[in-house]
Structure 1
Amino acid sequence: MRLSLIAAGIILMSANAYANTNLGQQLSICAAKTDKTVRLTCYDALAANAKPSAHIMTTASPTKITPSVAPRPTTPAAPSAVVASPQALSVEDFGLQRKVIEDEVDKIYSEVVSIKKDALGAFIITLNNGQVWKQSSSKYYKIKKGQRIFIKTGALNSFLLGSDERNATTRVKRLK
């Protein structure tokens, strides 16, 4: 009886080891992809096929193994939102607040003072009012120094940069 239990345990461990090496091979195949969207799609497909384990085991001492259970919070965490009076909101605070207030500024106009590109090709612009914005979408958007642009609020606390001459916008995030 003991021998059959030991054999069954060895077979289960070898199946897990084989699955881990297979996963490692699949991860290295995804990592070898050069296009970032294809690589992300590959990783997403691996994550969708992954089966979460029922228990995560940790070692409490060298001889005793106990299951690790994350403690549940007793009260839900309150959302951290900046609450400001409508008088305190201004053009200088545009893009920094997190809570939507009715009297809030929805759109600002400004002129581009400088343009830089980051390592991934997204632009970082400085406006004449001192604000610094970075492109957060990956689509190409042409912008020039001295151009008059607007930044308006989008859905889900996002911001869109555009100009009145064009019918296109790109998503941006405020840095400063």
Structure 2
Amino acid sequence: MRLSLIVAGIILMSANAYANTNLGQQLSNCAAKTDKLERLICYDELAANAKPSAHIMTTTNTTKVAPSEVPKPPATPNVVAPLVASPQVLSVDDFGLKTKVVEDEVDKVYFEVSAVKKAPYGELIITFTNGQVWKQSSPERYKVDKGQRIFIETGALNSFLLGTDDRNATTRVRRLK
């Protein structure tokens, strides 16, 4: 039984592959054209002549409908929306906030510490001279002093790392304000 299913599957796959060899030949003919416009026209003709695959042709409704009764899809306006938002420049004040989609993002920013507090579970809450407030999100101990110059850089998976140039260690932080 299992062997017959495997053989049937191989036969179906080979029949599908044989049917697609003509399409593959036509695609390679289009790809061989050196002029960009001729190549585009060739691909457009292939797409226009392509037959829908059997997977798309399956229907769940078996009732027959007269061609005059088939509802027409609503007309869509010919509006082209941009695929990518225009790039914005991220300033130091916006660093660490999740509200903006940015392509040209700052990787590392230096700050001077204005105040350091501890949260109830021992995490650092660091306020900088520009008013930003960051909280330590990793459990390790890390020493930060008032007036110290530190950096915050982007890490993996939209995380941020706090560190200093004097030390080789960093700690994960997240921005509160």
If the length of structure 2 is used for normalisation, what is the TM-score?
Answer: 0.49
Higher helix share: 2
Higher strand share: 1
